[in-house]
Amino acid sequence: MTAQLIDGNALAAQVRAEVSHRVQALKARDVQPRLAIILIGEDPGSQVYVRNKVADSEQTGLAATLERYPADMAEADLLARIAALNADDSVHGILVQLPLPRHMDSHAVIEAIAPHKDVDGFHLASAGALMVGQPGFRPCTPYGCMRMLESIGMQDLRGKHAVVIGRSNIVGKPMALMLLAANATVTICHSGTPDLKAQTLQGDIVVAAVGKRRVLTADMVKPGAIVIDVGMNRDEAGKLCGDVDFANVKEVAGWITPVPGGVGPMTRAMLLVNTIEAAERVSR
């Protein structure tokens, strides 16, 4: 068996087309959806991410502004800028690109963003809404993963066992909550879980979100399982790769996401979905 690919690039293009239609509907009512992106420092990966986010936004007609600041920017100055954007009614979404320089408190910065503009879905208010099943902004990466599952007919996961490897507040825990909301049975693990293989072999769906190359190998995957690879790493040749031993796991799994071209494009696409949702909420 060779797994079928869940093409994140193709699905993200569909999502952007949906967002574009919603943007045009708002523009017809004289509302221009707008996203403000803040980048602190010169991290190469972050620069690529924000450049792609701006390009995605422009493709849909959604206005995106990128504000760049030096790595030695004072945290107080950043908080003041966020406060100004919170008060600006023309801005519907605010994203502060992580990671931040070490002298800044990421939690304090995220919490400074108004919850109704927290399109990255990291604010405690967003996490609380997700926890109790209330409307709120979902973190973009797990949100994208769920859309990928829906694209292959997995809207209702009743009777399915999902295993999430990775316990971070950004991906692991929100991913588990979304899977639970879709009626799956969920097990959360990490790379040091005793007998991790025994856990992953139970998974009808396995989500690898550790940030470690080849943490999920073919002997750890149930035949026919759906494998979602959230990892972003570099292999020995410097090429982008995920957390999954893709070449071998694809011969066992039923469905699999590639890296690149899988979860990454969908993460960016769901940022656009959250931003257009933010604009629609305040313009109703």
CATH number at residue 196: 3.40.50.720
pLDDT beyond 80 at 135: no
Cα distances (Å, whole numbers) of residue 4 to 25, 64, 234: 35, 35, 24
**pTM (predicted TM-score):** 0.94
Domain span at residue 201 reads: 140-264
CATH value at residue 100: 3.40.50.10860
- The pLDDT assigned to 103 comes to 97
Q: Is residue 62 part of a domain?
A: yes
Same domain, 214 and 172: yes
Structure tokens at 92: 């519907």
Return d(Cα 35, Cα 177) in angstroms, integer: 27
254 and 147 in a common domain: yes
Can you give the pLDDT at residue 263? 97
From the list 53, 160, 222, 250, the catalytic residue is: 53
Of 56, 117, 118, 120, the active-site residue reads 120
- What percentage of the chain carries pLDDT values higher than 70? 100
CA distance 1 to 189: 27
- Does 44 reside within a domain? yes
Q: How far apart are CA 163 and CA 188, in angstroms?
A: 6
Q: How many domains is the chain built from?
A: 2
The single residue of 56, 97, 117, 199 carrying the catalytic annotation is 97
Residue 53 bears catalytic tag: yes
Asked whether residue 120 is domain-assigned, the answer is no
The Cα 56–Cα 71 span in angstroms is 25
Q: Is residue 11 part of a domain?
A: no
The question of whether 97 is a catalytic residue gets the answer yes
Q: What is the pLDDT of residues 177-219, one digit of tens each?
A: 999 999 999 999 988 899 999 999 999 999 999 999 999 999 9
120 is catalytic: yes
pLDDT for residue 44 is more than 90: no
Q: Does the pLDDT at position 1 exceed 80?
A: no
Percent of the chain at pLDDT > 90 equals 85
In a domain, 5, yes or no: no
Residue 25 resides in a domain: no
Q: 77 lies in a domain?
A: yes
